[in-house]
């Protein structure tokens, strides 16, 4: 059974940092393209960014609002995806989901339960 | 960047109704279009991939069509469990982009 479990969310002040983790199981994580998607309270879905598999060059791609502040990484030995968030802004407040793109780009077949990040003073 | 314009934003419907939701891309995206269903407090669920391919386990009352810039999600006979918010997503170009969502409510 595929499982994606996010952790590391919480309350942080503007300008602060936070690292989210996503523990994956039930599939070959090292072969997977993984994305982060977020949803601000009462709002729609927003793609945050993606990391490809090592065999695809481990390329990282980001949306404009988070580029240069957020970094996606992965540890294939631990089957874990990360989202390092720096210089956080109030508008980054959202539920963050990790997702597995399978089998084609944009086909988010599996999602974590989501984790809330609140940026507030 | 590719903009996805989804309409309508809200649909008021009844059980048994036929519901149609549209997504329009700001430029051609071939069939790189997926549809998601989201219920309150839950993660989205993938319904349709490649514009028209129904995912395994998704009821056949859901269907998708379109290519290029105009896409449609149709629910042929609305069931109580279909009341939710629906999103389209394009994956033809970066950044990936979602439509604004359509809330289907009673």
Dump pLDDT digits (tens) for A48-62.
999 999 999 999 999
- Cβ atoms of residues B99 and B87 within 8 Å: yes
Q: What is the pLDDT of residue B61?
A: 97
Whole-angstrom Cα distance, residue A36 to residue A57? 18
Nearest to A6 by CA among A48, A44, A42: A48
| DSSP 8-state secondary structure symbol assigned to residue A3 | E
Q: Is the backbone of residue A6 left (phi > 0), alpha (psi -120 to 50) or beta?
A: beta
Q: What is the pLDDT of residue A91?
A: 97
**CA of A61, closest CA in chain B: separation in Å?**
8
- Cβ atoms of residues B17 and B79 within 8 Å: no
Chosen from B52, B53, B96 to mutate, greatest number of chain A CBs within 10 A:
B96
Residues in chain B: 106
Dump pLDDT digits (tens) for B70-87.
999 999 999 999 999 999
- Under the banding of pLDDT at 50, 70 and 90, the label for residue A42 is very high
Check CB contact under 8 Å for B96 and A44.
Answer: no
Whole-angstrom Cα distance, residue B38 to residue B40? 7
**CA of B20, closest CA in chain A: separation in Å?**
19
From A97, A106, A109, residue closest to B96, measured CB to CB: A106
Task: State CA A19 to chain mean position distance.
Answer: 10
CA atoms within 13 A on the CB side of B50: 6
| DSSP 8-state secondary structure symbol assigned to residue A87 | S
* Residue B88 scores a pLDDT above 90: yes
- Cβ atoms of residues B52 and B31 within 8 Å: yes
Q: What is the pLDDT of residue B10?
A: 97
In angstroms and rounded to an integer, the radius of gyration of the C-alpha atoms of chain B is: 13
Whole-angstrom Cα distance, residue A97 to residue A112? 6
State chain A's mean pLDDT as an integer: 97
**CA of B17, closest CA in chain A: separation in Å?**
25
Q: What integer is the mean pLDDT of B38-45?
A: 97
Pick the residue from chain B with its C-alpha nearest to A45. B98
Nearest to B54 by CA among B44, B64, B45: B64
- The SS3 call for residue B57 is coil
State chain B's mean pLDDT as an integer: 96
- Chain B hits for A44, CB-CB cut-off 8 Å, are 87, 98-101
Nearest to A44 by CA among B100, B11, B103: B100
* Residue B106 scores a pLDDT above 90: no
């Amino acid at each position: 059974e595929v499982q994606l479990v996010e952790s590391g969310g919480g309350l942080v002040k503007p300008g602060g940092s936070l690292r989210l983790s996503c523990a994956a199981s039930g599939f070959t994580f090292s072969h997977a393209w993984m994305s982060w998607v977020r949803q601000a309270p009462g709002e729609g879905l927003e793609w945050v960014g993606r990391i490809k598999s090592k065999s695809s060059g481990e390329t990282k791609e980001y949306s404009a609002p988070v580029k240069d502040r957020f970094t996606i990484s992965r540890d294939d030995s631990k089957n874990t995806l990360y989202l390092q968030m720096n210089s956080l802004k109030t508008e980054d407040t959202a539920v963050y989901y990790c997702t597995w793109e399978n089998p084609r780009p944009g086909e988010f077949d599996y999602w974590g339960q989501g984790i809330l990040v609140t940026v507030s003073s | 960047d590719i903009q996805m314009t989804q309409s309508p934003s809200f649909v008021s419907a009844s059980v048994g109704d036929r519901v149609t939701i549209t997504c329009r891309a700001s430029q051609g995206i071939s069939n790189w279009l997926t549809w998601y269903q989201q219920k309150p407090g839950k993660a989205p669920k993938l319904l349709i991939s490649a514009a028209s391919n129904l995912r395994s386990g998704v009821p056949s009352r859901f269907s998708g069509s379109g290519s290029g810039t105009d896409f449609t999600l149709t629910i042929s006979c609305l069931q109580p469990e279909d009341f939710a918010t629906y999103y389209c997503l394009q994956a033809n170009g970066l950044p990936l982009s979602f439509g604004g969502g359509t809330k289907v409510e009673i």
